[in-house]
Structure 1
Amino acid sequence: MSKQKTAQVANDDLRSGTKPYQEVARKVLPYLVRQAEANQPIYYSDLAEQVGMPNPRNLNFPLGCIGRGLIRLKKEHKLNASIPPIQCLVVNKQNGLPGEGIGDFLSTNYTKLTGSQKRLMVDRHLSEIYNYQHWDWVLDELGIQPVSNNIAKQLDQAKNYSSTGESEQHRLFKEYIARSPGALGLNLRLANGRTEYPLPSADRIDVVFEDKSLRIGVEVKSSLSNEADILRGLFQCVKYKHLIEAEQVVEGG
């Protein structure tokens, strides 16, 4: 069945539908609301992983169900304005656009548009999604709980995280990254990165690549790292970025 027909066959019962794709739609919607409130789209593969779906292609019917469910909700409450097609947030890695099935919710001739025309249309709807102020109301009306945000707890865990030293997994991953700039989307011709690069603050960055005037720092986390350690790594990246920039300013003069 073609992707263009997804929206037409997906039933719009988001409240109590018992078909598997309807249950998945109820699970997916709060994640989309989270993305809308963060002003960020999400890849099909990332969303599938977060909701526990092994095959991202199976998101087509749930997303169509969400789109039709929002249209139904507008009609039920006789709203003057449409509820933005939040499923538009789910995009392909290849082109950054939703699947072709989104055309049933955006324009009757969507599939005939050029890539740049599709981008303009999608961007307009993304702006509407980001600026919509009633996503919490939508979830409440549908009886769906929002995704819980445990960032405060995670921050506390990151602050209190203690390391037992470098693991073998971390060392091997660090060395792999140092000799594989292409894995990060960097120029394949770059020289191998320098590991344990020292900064004037006595901090050490896992890997640093040199690309002409650019100095690119990389903090790696192995599969052993938990969420607290990964969050700590994000803050380390913020610190290291400014330390590298300060070092370059001093070196330059």
Structure 2
Amino acid sequence: MGGARGGWAGRGEAGRGDRDVRRGGGAHAHAHGAAGGGGAAQGGEMERFGGGAGGYEAAAAEQQLSRQQERHYRLLSELQALVKALPSSCQQRLSYTTLSDLALALLDGTVFEIVQGLLEIQHLTEKNLYSQRLQLHSEHRGLKQELFHRHKEAQQCCRPHNLPLLRAAQQREMEAVEQRIREEQRMMDEKIVLELDQKVIDQQSTLEKAGVSGFYITTNPQELTLQMNLLELIRKLQQKESESEKAFS
């Protein structure tokens, strides 16, 4: 009997154990399902959030592109209006494609800053060269005045019978000084031309590297005229942009 009770007790414990295992397994499965469902829901939220961010970025990029297109159209229209003020021979060289490419290069304003910097360098160079030429001219004028006064004093101290010889010698000296002055002026003018030519080359190279249509290193007079017209268009357009910014500020 004791063994039987023990057997029943064993089966009862075993039965309760089985039921506990089944209940535990069910609870574990329920918890796992709940966790899985929560993960799926969270994944759905993340997916929707990611999709929203991507959509926002796409919309922002589209708006940026639209603004650039509008700015390109406005710059192109303003360039076309400015070209009408140029001589007809220049207008023929400035095709729609050239102006459109120029408007594209001007979109972000960098070329405006580059041109402004180049013009400032050019003006400083011209001012410096002009000052050097004025300085040389002043030195030459002082040299001739000093020579004239020295000759005059020598003539006053000279005996009359030696005066013709003295004047002839002074004339030769004056001619030599004037020849020296002409040579120094010629060298100065050549220096000025070379430095200004180098500035033109620097401008051509810089604007070519910046992707500005029509600019490359050349000495062809027609191409130089075209580049000067393009620079003038950029400068005038920059002034209009600056005036517009001041009006809205």
TM-score of the alignment, normalized to the shorter chain, above 0.5 = no
Higher relative contact order, structure no. (Cα contacts within 8 Å, ≥ 6 residues apart): 2
TM-score when normalising by structure 1? 0.20
So what's the TM-score if we normalise by structure 2?
0.20
Structure with the higher fraction of residues in strand conformation: 1
Higher-Rg member (1/2):
2
